Amino acid sequence: MTAPTTTPLIRRLQEQDIPHIESHYLRLGPEDRRARFGAAIGDDVIIGYVRRLDPARATLVGAFDETGERLVGIAEAQPTQALHRVEIAISVDASVRHCGIGLRLVRSTLAIVFAEGNRAAEFFFAADNRSILGLVRALGAWISPRMDCAEISSLAAPSPRSTGGARLSGMPACVPAWRAPAWA
């Protein structure tokens, strides 16, 4: 792990950034791809996925290195089937992990999606993914007992200086309202 020599530029990504996104995802190794996409996937699947990304529909926030040319991290917020909820996924180049870039990316993404009217953000991950587990804990998100999903609400969204968070409702997190069990 090499700490960045300067603070990376964090900004919202647009259509013209698609090649940077593709390059970032293609640089991910097998374990990082499994952590980000939930399965072992090849280059062709990544290329197809990136080509279907729609920056007008999804919120894409990236971190660029000091040159401004290399995307070293990305947070994606995709709308879910439930109203006012997004699912967030994140990846950061191994060379700049554990430097706070992931947390900055997710905080920036949450600020955008909550300002746009979303009320909750969900995170799905493998229970053994300690990096994302630490990140959602730092945000104060509610984490499922299975340790494989988390939720944070806009009602208690973290500001850049706070780490507070809360669940949106009394229902179990990671269970969209449209699929609520009978006991909820």
- DSSP per position, 43-99: HHHHHHHHHH--TTTSEEEEEE-TTSSSEEEEEEEEE-SSTTEEEEEEEE-GGGTTS
Judged against a pLDDT cut of 90, whether residue 146 lies above it is answered with no
Judged against a pLDDT cut of 80, whether residue 81 lies above it is answered with yes
Read off the pTM.
Answer: 0.81
Q: Determine the pLDDT at residue 3.
A: 55
Look over the chain and give the mean of its residue pLDDT values, rounded to a whole number.
Answer: 84
Please give the structure tokens belonging to residue 98. 């554990």
Q: What is the DSSP code (8-state) at residue 101?
A: H
In the chain, pLDDT over 70 holds for what percent of residues? 81
Of 164 and 104, the structure prediction assigns the larger pLDDT to: 104
Domain 9-175 has CATH 2.40.160.40: no
Distances (CA, A) of 38 to 43, 114, 163: 15, 25, 27
Q: Determine the pLDDT at residue 4.
A: 53
Judged against a pLDDT cut of 60, whether residue 173 lies above it is answered with no
Please state the rounded mean pLDDT for residues 151-168. Answer: 55
Judged against a pLDDT cut of 80, whether residue 163 lies above it is answered with no
Distances (CA, A) of 76 to 50, 73, 172, 183: 11, 10, 23, 32
Phi, psi of 143 (to 5 degrees): -115, 135
Judge contact between 142 and 175, C-beta under 8 A: no
